[in-house]
C-alpha cells in the first residue's frame, strides 16, 4: 500500500473535515446540547433484545442465560432483562454471573423491565408496589443496568389480559374513584422511588403500557408533574393502538429507552404495521442516541424471527 506524504495527509484531512461540515450544514441530525457547544453528528443507536422475545409468556420461561447466549450469536449489542423471567433466583451470586456472562460475550445489559401497579385506593397495596419497585432498582444496580422500565398500573376491572386487549386496553374505573385520584396515587408512589433510583444511578422509564399509561398524554402528565431527570420515558412502539406517529412524537423528547415491537407470523392479541423508518426519523429529530430494544411479539419461531427483526431495524435506522 502506498504511503501518503505529510502534505497529502493534511490535504485529505482537510477534505474530510470540509465534507463533514457540508453534511452538517445540509441538515443531518445533530446532538442536542448547549448553545455554545459545537454541533456534532448523532452517533448510531445500539440494538438490544428483550429476553421476552424468546419467551412471550409461552410455556416455561426461557432461561436468562440462554437468552444472553442467543443475543450474542444473533449479533445484538445488548440484552434487556424481563424481571419476571428470572424465576425465583435473584441472588447476588446469580446476578454477578449474568453480568460476567454478558461481558464475556461483548454484550451490555442495557435495560431491566419490571412490573408494578400503583392504581389502587388501598395504601397498603400501593406501598407493597413501592417496596417491590425499590427492590427492582437494587437488582438493576447490582446488574450494572442504567435504566429500568416502570408501569403506572391499571384499574384491574377487566376479567383478564385477554379481555383487556379485546377492549383495546380500555377498562372501567373502580366505582367511586376517578382518574385524577389515580394519577395522584401513581405520582406519589414514583416520587417515593426516585431517591433510591438517584442513589443507584438507575433512570426509571415510565412506559406507555396500558392503564393510565395507555396514551402519551397520560404518561407525560406523570413525567411532567414529577419533573425529575431520574424519571423519563420508555417508549414502546407497539402499545399505541391509535394515532401511533403523533403519540411517538409526543413521548420522543423525554425518551430514555425504546422497545421496538415486531410481529412476524402475526401477533397474539393484535398486529401493527409499524414503519420503523418513521420511528427512526422521529427519534432522530430529538437527538435520541439511546438503546432500541427488540420485543418480538409474533407467532413465528424466535430463532428465525428475532434475527430477521434485527436486520429490519438496522436497515430502518441506518
Question: Is the residue at 60 inside a domain?
Answer: yes
Q: Does residue 13 surpass a pLDDT of 60? A: no
In-domain check, residue 140: yes
E strands present in 162-226: 203-207
Q: Establish if 12 belongs to a structural domain.
A: no
Let me know if residue 21 belongs to a domain.
no
Q: What is the pLDDT of residue 165?
A: 87
Domain presence at residue 123: yes
Task: Single out the residue of 151, 149, 259 nearest to residue 205, CA to CA.
Answer: 149
CATH number of domain containing 85: 3.20.20.150
Which residues, 6 or more positions from 66, have their beta carbon under 8 angstroms from its beta carbon? 54
pLDDT in tens, 75-133: 999 999 999 999 989 999 999 999 999 999 999 999 999 999 999 999 999 999 999 99
Provide the pairing of β-strand 203-207 with 291-296.
unpaired
Per-residue pLDDT tens digits for 14-24: 333 333 333 33
Q: pLDDT grade, residue 176 (50/70/90)?
A: very high
Has residue 64 been placed in a domain? Answer: yes
Q: Note the pTM of the prediction, 2 decimals.
A: 0.86
- Beta carbons of 79 and 71 less than 8 angstroms apart: yes
Distances in whole angstroms, Cα of residue 224 to Cα of each of 36, 218, 221, 232: 27, 10, 5, 9
Q: Is residue 165 part of a domain?
A: yes
Question: What is the domain extent for residue 235?
Answer: 43-317
Residue 19 lies in a domain: no
Q: What is the count of structural domains for the chain? A: 1
Amino acid at each position: 500500500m502506498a504511503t501518503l506524504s505529510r502534505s497529502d495527509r493534511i490535504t485529505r484531512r482537510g477534505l474530510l473535515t470540509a465534507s463533514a461540515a457540508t453534511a452538517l450544514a445540509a441538515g443531518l441530525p445533530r446532538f442536542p446540547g448547549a448553545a455554545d457547544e459545537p454541533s456534532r453528528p448523532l452517533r448510531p443507536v445500539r440494538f438490544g433484545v428483550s429476553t421476552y422475545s424468546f419467551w412471550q409468556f409461552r410455556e416455561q420461561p426461557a432461561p436468562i442465560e440462554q437468552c444472553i447466549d442467543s443475543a450474542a450469536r444473533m449479533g445484538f449489542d445488548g440484552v434487556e432483562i424481563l424481571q419476571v423471567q428470572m424465576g425465583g433466583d435473584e441472588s447476588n451470586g446469580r446476578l454477578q454471573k449474568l453480568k460476567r456472562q454478558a461481558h464475556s460475550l461483548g454484550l451490555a445489559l442495557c435495560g431491566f423491565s419490571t412490573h408494578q401497579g400503583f392504581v389502587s385506593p388501598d395504601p397498603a397495596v400501593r406501598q407493597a408496589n413501592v417496596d417491590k419497585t425499590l427492590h427492582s432498582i437494587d437488582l438493576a444496580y447490582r446488574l450494572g443496568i442504567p435504566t429500568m422500565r416502570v408501569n403506572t398500573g391499571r384499574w384491574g376491572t377487566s376479567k383478564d389480559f385477554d379481555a383487556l386487549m379485546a377492549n383495546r386496553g380500555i377498562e372501567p374505573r373502580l366505582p367511586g374513584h376517578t382518574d385524577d385520584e389515580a394519577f395522584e396515587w401513581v405520582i406519589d408512589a414514583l416520587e417515593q422511588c426516585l431517591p433510591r433510583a438517584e442513589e443507584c444511578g438507575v433512570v426509571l422509564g415510565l412506559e406507555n403500557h396500558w392503564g393510565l399509561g395507555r396514551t402519551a398524554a397520560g404518561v407525560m402528565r406523570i413525567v411532567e408533574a414529577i419533573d425529575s431527570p431520574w424519571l423519563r420515558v420508555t417508549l414502546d412502539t407497539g402499545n399505541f393502538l391509535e394515532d401511533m406517529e403523533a403519540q411517538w412524537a409526543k413521548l420522543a423528547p423525554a425518551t430514555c429507552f425504546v422497545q421496538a415491537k415486531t410481529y412476524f407470523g402475526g401477533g397474539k392479541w393484535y398486529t401493527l404495521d409499524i414503519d420503523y423508518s418513521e420511528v427512526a426519523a422521529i427519534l432522530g429529530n430529538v437527538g435520541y442516541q439511546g438503546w432500541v430494544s427488540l420485543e418480538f411479539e409474533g407467532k413465528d419461531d424466535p430463532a428465525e424471527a428475532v434475527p430477521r427483526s434485527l436486520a429490519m431495524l438496522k436497515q430502518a435506522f441506518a
